[in-house]
Chains A and B, each alone.
Chain A
Amino acid sequence: MIVHDRWRRAAKTTGAAAVGLILLIWSLAPIYNMLMIALDPDEGEIEFDGNIFPPDPSLGGFQDALSQEARYLEEFWLQFGNSVLIGLAAAALTVLVASLAAFALSRLRRGRGTLLGNLGLLSYAVPASCLVIPLFGITHGYGLGDSRWAVIAAQVAFAAPFAVVILLQYARLIPLELDEAARLDGASAAQLYRHLYLPLMLPALAVVAGYALVIAWNDYVYQFVLLVSQRHTTVSMMQGQLFADTDAPWNAMMAAAIIYVLPPIAFFLVIARYVASNLARSGAAERTRIL
């Protein structure tokens, strides 16, 4: 009986390890592929044909991307800067706009929040084309043709409804008695927002910022449609337009792609720690512990 049990456990462990290995390969294969192509010593003419590991790994691709020497990457840092500007501005404005609205809905006019939140969420069911195609003409009408601010505003409009929902959920953890005490001391709504709501909501605000940043970082369609001139091009636009070009220097292009995908990963690792430690302190850990 005991021997039988030990066998069963060994079989279970082996099975789990096999599944784990498959998952590891599944998760990493496309990332490995990026790295393999980026480490190829030769640019151009798809030199990486049929390799399953780089035969002669070299950091030349990364060097060419960083120094903007590769073809199509002459403006890489300008494009990267545009992506960063759009991402950070969209994140900051989403936090501002959504926190103001969520504060009003959860602390001032409670009860209406769900309705407004749901209406905003319905916009997620609308195909992107319905918003983007007319937006080209509309932003010209606003005087924002070929403007990065048009892209930023569009991202904020897209990120804000769900951001409000996140903030409304998190605000439930903050007792209303705090507001009432502050009101008794004569605090105005603006003071409540500034001195009570914002500091207590910091972890949720960080989440919303990350959410908006990732939307902007992943975007291709809005940038492609709303931005025209060379100096407003972003990394996503450049790579999205050249993605099937066999003439591009793919080692440098993939190196650029790897550089581009790193910031959100770093951001998430930092934010996850911060949010986790804050949640633990606020006593919400019991409900939210997952790992």
Chain B
Amino acid sequence: MIREMSGGEQITGLPPLAIGPRWRGGRSAPLRRGERAWAVAFIAPYAAVFLAFAGYPLAVSLWIGSDPGLYRELFADRYYWLAAANTVLFAGIGVNLQMGLALLLSGFFLQRRWWIKPLLVVFVVPWFLATVQAFLSFHWMLIGEYGLIDGVLQQVFGIEGPNWFNYYWLALGGNIVAFAWKWLPLWTLILMAGRLAIPGEVYEAAAIDGAGGVRRFFHVTAPLVANLYLVCTLLATIWAVGDFATAYFVSNGTPQHMTEVIATLSFRYAFDDARPAFGIAAAISALPVLIPVALLLMRRLRKGGVQL
């Protein structure tokens, strides 16, 4: 997945994230005779593996999914609409929660305190943790009286905790929190890099003009990271809508398949019910939302000069 992409340098070892005028082709290397053939030969393996294992499956999916009868049946399924609503809630709340917290934390982690750096290293660990195992741990934490959360509620606060997976809102909330837990470090690092790219002189000028912390944030930081924030939000939305692991491993659709999202429902149609065409149709039904978001993202990346 694109998920494990860029972010901050030292700890993540990923490439720079620069804000500024976009580099434009300009001078071109002199193309020698014969280099065209080399170029084709060098691109061929990439093109071949991409077409064989991504392009062709997608084409097959679109072909299978082009039967309107599938969608008539799909839209008559009550579970489909429930999963669609869950996907909207999961992505809508999850993404904004992540991005809002990441924006606040990106400022928090730029403070000068001796413990900030070690804390940041710990904070980033969830992002490195293997997905299945991390969400498995979340599942067992929320499993009711057996789990860590209810254990803490009981032994520290004397409250009898619920079995989180018996209640729709608690199960859905568990998914959203687990999802935010996993991806918060990435967005925080990206926004930190974005803030660091703002030249110090801008802040000095603001300080000379007498702007305090709050005004500095709204009048200097916010406008300068706005584009980056939007790009990250769009990207996070694409991932959240397509996310399979959270709803599958944290709540596992409980109670009674009520917290399924489109991604898990499509998987269940295809493999539990052995109806692949139906599963593909469910997944394709998310495309009218995903494609515009992706196109908007591309445009933003081209226009705004944010480089990931």
Chain A residues contacting B205 (CB-CB under 8 Å) are: none
Q: A211-232: which residues lie under 8 A (CB-CB) from chain B?
A: 211, 214-215, 217-218, 220-221, 225
Chain A residues contacting B38 (CB-CB under 8 Å) are: 104, 108, 188-190
Tell me, in angstroms, the Cα distance from A164 to B196 when the chains sit together.
Answer: 25
Chain A residues contacting B258 (CB-CB under 8 Å) are: none
Q: B88 at interface (Cβ–Cβ under 8 A)?
A: no
Summarize A's interface: helix, strand, loop or mixed: helix
Partner of A108, one of B16, B39, B197, B282: B39
Tell me, in angstroms, the Cα distance from A16 to B111 when the chains sit together.
Answer: 9
Chain A residues contacting B245 (CB-CB under 8 Å) are: 218, 220
In the complex, the answer to whether A271 meets B10 with C-beta atoms within 8 Å is: no
Summarize B's interface: helix, strand, loop or mixed: helix
Chain A residues contacting B23 (CB-CB under 8 Å) are: 172
Residue ID in chain B nearest A47 by CB atoms:
B146
| A111-B28, A157-B50 as given contacts; A170 in contact with B15, CB under 8 Å | yes
In the complex, the answer to whether B133 meets A260 with C-beta atoms within 8 Å is: yes
Tell me, in angstroms, the Cα distance from A157 to B4 when the chains sit together.
Answer: 15
Q: A146 at interface (Cβ–Cβ under 8 A)?
A: no
Residue ID in chain B nearest A241 by CB atoms:
B132
Q: A153 at interface (Cβ–Cβ under 8 A)?
A: yes
Partner of A129, one of B42, B56, B154, B280: B280
Q: B240-286: which residues lie under 8 A (CB-CB) from chain A?
A: 241-242, 244-245, 249, 252, 262-263, 266-267, 270-271, 276, 279-280, 282-284, 286
In the complex, the answer to whether B15 meets A290 with C-beta atoms within 8 Å is: no
Partner of B148, one of A29, A133, A207: A29
Chain A residues contacting B13 (CB-CB under 8 Å) are: 203, 206-207, 210, 268, 271-272, 274-276
Q: A252 at interface (Cβ–Cβ under 8 A)?
A: no
Q: A51 at interface (Cβ–Cβ under 8 A)?
A: yes
Chain A residues contacting B238 (CB-CB under 8 Å) are: 124-125
Partner of A279, one of B9, B28, B56, B151: B9
Q: A195 at interface (Cβ–Cβ under 8 A)?
A: no
Q: How many residues of B contact A (CB 8 A)?
A: 120
| A30-B137, A101-B42, A272-B10 as given contacts; A158 in contact with B54, CB under 8 Å | yes
Chain B residues contacting A34 (CB-CB under 8 Å) are: 133, 137
Chain B residues contacting A138 (CB-CB under 8 Å) are: 56-57, 60
In the complex, the answer to whether B111 meets A123 with C-beta atoms within 8 Å is: no
Which B residues are closer than 8 A to A by beta carbons?
Answer: 1-6, 8-16, 18, 23, 25, 27-32, 34-36, 38-40, 42-43, 45-47, 49-50, 52-58, 60-62, 64-65, 105, 108, 111, 113, 115-117, 119-120, 122-123, 125-126, 128-141, 145-148, 150-152, 154-156, 181, 189, 192-193, 196-197, 238, 241-242, 244-245, 249, 252, 262-263, 266-267, 270-271, 276, 279-280, 282-284, 286-287, 290-291, 293-294, 298, 307-308
Which A residues are closer than 8 A to B by beta carbons?
Answer: 13, 16, 19-20, 23-24, 26-34, 36-37, 46, 48-52, 93, 96-98, 100-101, 103-105, 107-111, 116, 118, 120-138, 142, 153-154, 156-158, 160-162, 164-166, 169-170, 172, 176, 179-180, 183, 188-190, 193, 203-204, 206-207, 210-211, 214-215, 217-218, 220-221, 225, 236, 239-240, 243-244, 250, 254, 257-258, 260-261, 264-265, 268, 271-272, 274-276, 279, 284, 287-291
Q: Kindly list the 10 A-B residue pairs having the minimum CB-CB distance in the complex, ordered from nearest.
A: A125-B294, A157-B53, A101-B46, A189-B38, A104-B42, A129-B283, A275-B13, A272-B13, A257-B133, A134-B60
Q: List 16 A-B contacts (CB under 8 A).
A: A121-B2, A124-B238, A125-B291, A126-B287, A127-B263, A129-B283, A130-B58, A130-B284, A135-B53, A164-B46, A169-B15, A239-B132, A240-B132, A244-B139, A258-B133, A260-B130
